[in-house]
Structure 1
Amino acid sequence: MLKNVKHAVGKCIANAVLPNGLYCFNYHRIGEASLTEYDPNVFSCDEANFSEHMLYLKKNFTVVSIDDLSEILNGKIRDKRYALITFDDGYIDNYSKAFPILLENKIASTFFLATNFMNNAEIPWWDRIAYLVRHAQVDEVKLTNWSESIVLSKDNVSNSIRQVLDLVKVNNGSTIEEILIELEQKLQIPDTKLVDKEPLFMTWDMAREMSDAGMAFGSQTCSHRIMSHLSIEEQDHEAKASKELIEKELNTSIKAFAYPVGGKDSFTADTVKIIKKYYQISFSFISGINTSKNLDEFCIERISVDSNCNATQLSHKLLKLLLRKLHKSVWK
């Protein structure tokens, strides 16, 4: 009872003190994380909590589409508390589970696609790694360029997957392809054929249906490899080719890009120059609330929705982000 009261009070405080600005809520997968053979950490929340989030955002924010951003970023960012809903990667549950809830709530979300995965043509590298870790025949692993080994817990596979992926995302000179090969060897996987019980990613037909219903799309490259790990030529290809394919398949103009992984080390000044050639705006995965009129339109911060949080927990997360922002401004 006391816990419920505490949560309700926290939610009221958050809603009262949150500043005007652009809040970009970022989702990945919708569904039950415990049921996947791949990376459970990619799941944002289940359908019930996602539906609750949409009701909460409609009540406490002005929910906008990506087409509204030009006007908002051009001087109106402090007029209201704006909420933009985005999805990364293009998983099939974005279509089967999130899309109906978005339609029901009349919310136009933006979906960033990694085009190599469309039509389930390719299993992404992070899900391949998660599957390998799940089926490891050893208790710890250390790759050639790692400074330390990782103990693989059978009781907390999700944490083991997260630890391995955190090291993989560090640019240590190895390509994703090289890392996958070495992981298969070091983890002593008896059968490297990945399970394929059902499609992981949406099809172009699904994306077209969503586009026709008012959903927007952007690019997250072709392969979803980390841009800062690639050559200038590779980055340019990833940015240009993915945009061209999405525009061709959906018969629409694409103006937004989301950096794969999206942390501060996942893209460089050279990456931004390339993105500016093909897109009008781009989104990072750096956590924050966008309140400045001098906002960098090619590094828009987003709020990761994860851990199957409910609407109250989501409001608490926003309050923590605000407190962190205030703390930074005080100590500048």
Structure 2
Amino acid sequence: MGVKNRIFKYYFPQKAVDLKQKRRGNCNGIVLMYHEVLEDSIDIPAWTIVKRSNFEWQMKYLRNNFDVVTMDEATKRVCGLSEGQRPFAVVTFDDGYKGNFNNVLPVMNKLSLPFVVYVATKAVSDSSIYWYDKIIGLLDKRDDLFISIEGDDIPIRKSHSNSKRWSLMQKALSKLKSMSASERDIEVKKILDENDARSFSSRIGMLSASDLGAMSKHQLVTIGNHTHGHELLDQISGLEIYNTINKANCLIESWTGIKPKHFAYPNGNYSENVLDALSAFGFSTLVTTKPGIWDGSRSLMEIPRLGIGRFETKSQFKARLAGFL
């Protein structure tokens, strides 16, 4: 954790937020990136899983300080086609987790706030979870975990703090993401076998096709494309890129009746070749995982997002939104 993160963990002045808002102007804004929101009682120490009570506080704070808008409205503001009273914020979710339906939708409906869910469709169609969630799900065991990847041992002890357990898990995930898909599959199976993953049931789950159909009918919800198999696009060919995005488009349209207009790069990975391949689909916006303010200088194919995770304190959340983290 950096120095500013440690300082802002305990205190960040609201006046700094107000000052930053005045300087931003009403045509600029931020895009927040979440993944999953689960009930407070489900205590999986993963950055990707935010507690519902924390999420609700964050959304109330966001509503009090920003114009929370759809991706379409944000695009209009950035392009000078619409104006607002305050800087805007867009709330987005990656992958398509069950909690987006069970927890996010009720909170956002109560607060009348729109949001985007970028769905990777394979897990929905297969009623499965992706390889990284199988590994992350091991944290739910609360046992010592023994992870060894190509000779690099990454022991995760039950005595470690939650944030330490996640830091070590991130190290393992980063090593796995750097591998080819075939190499990664072998390593993931080995890790799951060594940690007896079959002995417990993961509480991480994905949306169903019927969930997506119901959500798409809600005026606050936008469904976006996140590929079919959550492939890292800079690691595959142009034809493979086309096929995974086209398949996701077709499935989402079959489930919701709506063709996606918005796209999120899995893991934030992209390159010039990826941008070229994506141009054929005519998406209105493409979002990254790079932090920053979204303003008129940004390409609509490389929109920045602020990642929000489980371990944010209220002060850190305010500091991140103000651009200090």
TM-score (norm 2): 0.83
SS state of the match for residue 301, structure 1?
coil
Query: Which consecutive unaligned segments of at least 5 residues does structure 1 have?
Result: 325-332
User: More displaced, 188-197 or 215-224?
Assistant: 188-197
Per-residue CA shift, 1:47-101, capped at 9, x if unaligned? Answer: 1121111111111111111221331232258864011111111110111011001
Contact map agreement 1:27 1:304 (CA 8 A) in 2: yes
Residue of structure 2 equivalent to 1:49: 54
Which of 112, 118, 127 pairs up with 2:124?
118
Distance between the aligned counterparts of 1:314 and 1:84, measured in 2?
15
Residue of structure 1 equivalent to 2:35: 28
SS state of the match for residue 267, structure 1?
coil
SS state of the match for residue 79, structure 2?
helix
Residue of structure 1 equivalent to 2:275: 272
Instruction: Sort the Cα spacing of 1:133 and 1:164 in 2 relative to 1 into closer, same or farther, 3 A.
Output: farther
SS state of the match for residue 180, structure 1?
helix
Q: How far did 1:209 drift?
A: 1.7
Q: How far did 1:187 drift?
A: 7.0
Distance between the aligned counterparts of 1:297 and 1:207, measured in 2?
25
Matched, 1:141 2:144: no
Instruction: Sort the Cα spacing of 1:152 and 1:289 in 2 relative to 1 into closer, same or farther, 3 A.
Output: same
Instruction: Sort the Cα spacing of 1:197 and 1:309 in 2 relative to 1 into closer, same or farther, 3 A.
Output: closer
Contact map agreement 2:36 2:99 (CA 8 A) in 1: yes
Per-residue CA shift, 1:244-303, capped at 9, x if unaligned? Answer: 2111210013110000011xxx11111112222111210001111113x23210010001
Which of 274, 277, 287 pairs up with 1:283?
287
- Code of the residue aligned with 1:58 in structure 2: it is R
Which of 231, 253, 263 pairs up with 2:259?
253
Contact map agreement 1:129 1:180 (CA 8 A) in 2: no
Contact map agreement 1:137 1:188 (CA 8 A) in 2: no
Which of 63, 66, 70 pairs up with 2:71?
66
Query: Which consecutive unaligned segments of at least 5 residues does structure 2 have?
Result: 1-6
Distance between the aligned counterparts of 1:71 and 1:240, measured in 2?
26
- Code of the residue aligned with 1:81 in structure 2: it is P
Instruction: Sort the Cα spacing of 1:133 and 1:185 in 2 relative to 1 into closer, same or farther, 3 A.
Output: farther
Give the alignment of 1:158-173 within 5 angstroms.
158-170=166-178, 172=179
- Code of the residue aligned with 1:294 in structure 2: it is S
Contact map agreement 1:184 1:192 (CA 8 A) in 2: no
Residue of structure 2 equivalent to 1:178: 183
Residue of structure 2 equivalent to 1:328: none
Number of residue pairs the alignment of both structures matches: 305
Q: How far did 1:192 drift?
A: 5.5
Residue of structure 1 equivalent to 2:301: 298
Where has structure 1 moved over 3 Å in runs of 4 or more? 32-37, 76-80, 131-140, 183-188, 190-199
Give the alignment of 1:9-24 within 5 angstroms.
10-18=13-21, 19-20=24-25, 21-24=28-31
Instruction: Sort the Cα spacing of 1:243 and 1:195 in 2 relative to 1 into closer, same or farther, 3 A.
Output: farther
Instruction: Sort the Cα spacing of 1:114 and 1:65 in 2 relative to 1 into closer, same or farther, 3 A.
Output: same
SS state of the match for residue 84, structure 1?
strand
Q: How far did 1:122 drift?
A: 2.0
Matched, 1:127 2:133: yes
How much identity, in percent, do the aligned residues show?
Answer: 20
Instruction: Sort the Cα spacing of 1:282 and 1:140 in 2 relative to 1 into closer, same or farther, 3 A.
Output: closer
Residue of structure 1 equivalent to 2:4: none
Instruction: Sort the Cα spacing of 1:131 and 1:308 in 2 relative to 1 into closer, same or farther, 3 A.
Output: closer
Distance between the aligned counterparts of 2:147 and 2:37, measured in 1?
31
Contact map agreement 2:127 2:208 (CA 8 A) in 1: no
SS state of the match for residue 166, structure 2?
helix
TM-score (norm 1): 0.81
Give the alignment of 1:299-314 within 5 angstroms.
299-314=302-317
Residue of structure 2 equivalent to 1:237: 243
Matched, 1:204 2:209: yes
Contact map agreement 2:135 2:192 (CA 8 A) in 1: no
Contact map agreement 1:113 1:220 (CA 8 A) in 2: yes
Which of 189, 192, 196 pairs up with 2:194?
189
Residue of structure 2 equivalent to 1:329: none
Give the CA RMSD over aligned residues: 2.9
Distance between the aligned counterparts of 1:182 and 1:290, measured in 2?
38
Distance between the aligned counterparts of 1:239 and 1:275, measured in 2?
8
